[in-house]
């Protein structure tokens, strides 16, 4: 078990408190559009990553990889971020929505996705929204990310969460595959969008989850320090 501290935002108020986490689940290939799913499969295939046997896929990773820090350490220079919405189920079973990066070692991913998920820290923004407040307009939420290239920031991902399965469907698929019920103390990454210009290693990463209906956004920025192998 590990504990992370978040600003829990609901009904216009914010409460800072810790949440005890017991499971980290990373959902992959969660796209609703089969053509987009195939696009992501081909994007990864270009890096040597074998296609999944079925979709969506679910991977486990150690809780110690989760962090709200703005700096992380990664072995080698082949890693990059992926902006994703995350679902946190607190101790009372209540759902919360946040933002995270499935930072992944692309070299390791080419021969083992499961191992690659464990190789790098997984940064998450220290802010959560009550899921009930966005459930009715879920498909309006927007994801964006930028990577640091040269002296500036370059758009890296952009799109609506409508491009991915509704998290309720993803959780149901997890159970339908015989993987069990995602209960209290779970943090789940919900899937990502294709990279603009292709997946590429970068150290600086910015990400945003925007709610245009309620006029708010969750943002986070971090830098990966590449350690010599």
Domains of the chain, residue spans: 2-227
**What is the architecture of the domain spanning 2-227?**
Alpha-Beta Complex (3.90)
* 14, β-bridge pairs: 9
Encode pLDDT of 128-170 as tens digits.
999 999 999 999 999 999 999 988 999 999 999 999 999 999 9
Dist CA 197 CA 113 (whole Å): 22
Helical H segments across the chain, by residue range: 34-45, 106-109, 113-119, 167-176
CA distances from 2 to 67, 107, 135 (A): 10, 28, 27
Task: State the average pLDDT over residues 120-133.
Answer: 98
What pLDDT shows up at residue 48? 78
Tens-place pLDDT, residues 10-63: 998 999 999 999 999 999 889 888 787 777 778 777 777 777 777 899 999 999
Give the DSSP H/E element, type plus range, for residue 79: strand 79-80
pTM of the predicted model, to two decimals?
0.93
Residues of the chain with pLDDT > 70: what percent?
Answer: 99
End-to-end CA distance of the chain: 30
Residue 43, phi-psi category: left (phi > 0), alpha (psi -120 to 50), beta (remainder) = alpha
């Amino acid at each position: 078990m590990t504990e992370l501290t978040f600003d829990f935002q609901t009904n216009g108020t914010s409460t800072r408190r810790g949440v005890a986490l017991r499971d980290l689940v990373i959902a992959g290939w969660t796209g609703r559009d089969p053509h987009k799913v195939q696009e992501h499969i081909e994007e990864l295939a270009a890096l040597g990553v074998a296609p999944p046997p079925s979709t969506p896929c679910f991977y486990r990773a150690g809780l110690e990889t989760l962090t709200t820090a703005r700096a992380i350490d990664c072995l080698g220079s082949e890693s990059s971020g992926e902006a994703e919405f995350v679902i946190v189920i607190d101790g009372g079973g209540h759902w919360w929505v946040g933002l995270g990066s499935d930072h992944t070692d692309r070299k390791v991913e080419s021969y083992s996705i499961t191992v690659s998920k464990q190789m790098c820290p997984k940064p998450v923004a220290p802010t959560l929204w009550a899921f009930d407040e966005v459930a009715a307009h879920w498909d309006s939420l927007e994801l964006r990310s930028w990577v640091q290239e040269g002296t500036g920031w370059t758009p890296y991902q952009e799109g609506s969460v409508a491009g991915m399965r509704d998290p309720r469907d993803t959780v149901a698929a997890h159970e339908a595959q015989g993987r069990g019920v995602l209960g209290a103390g779970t943090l789940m990454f919900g899937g990502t969008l294709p990279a603009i210009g292709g997946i590429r290693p970068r150290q600086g990463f910015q990400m945003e989850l925007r709610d245009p209906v309620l006029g708010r956004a969750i943002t986070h920025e971090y830098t990966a320090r590449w350690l010599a192998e």
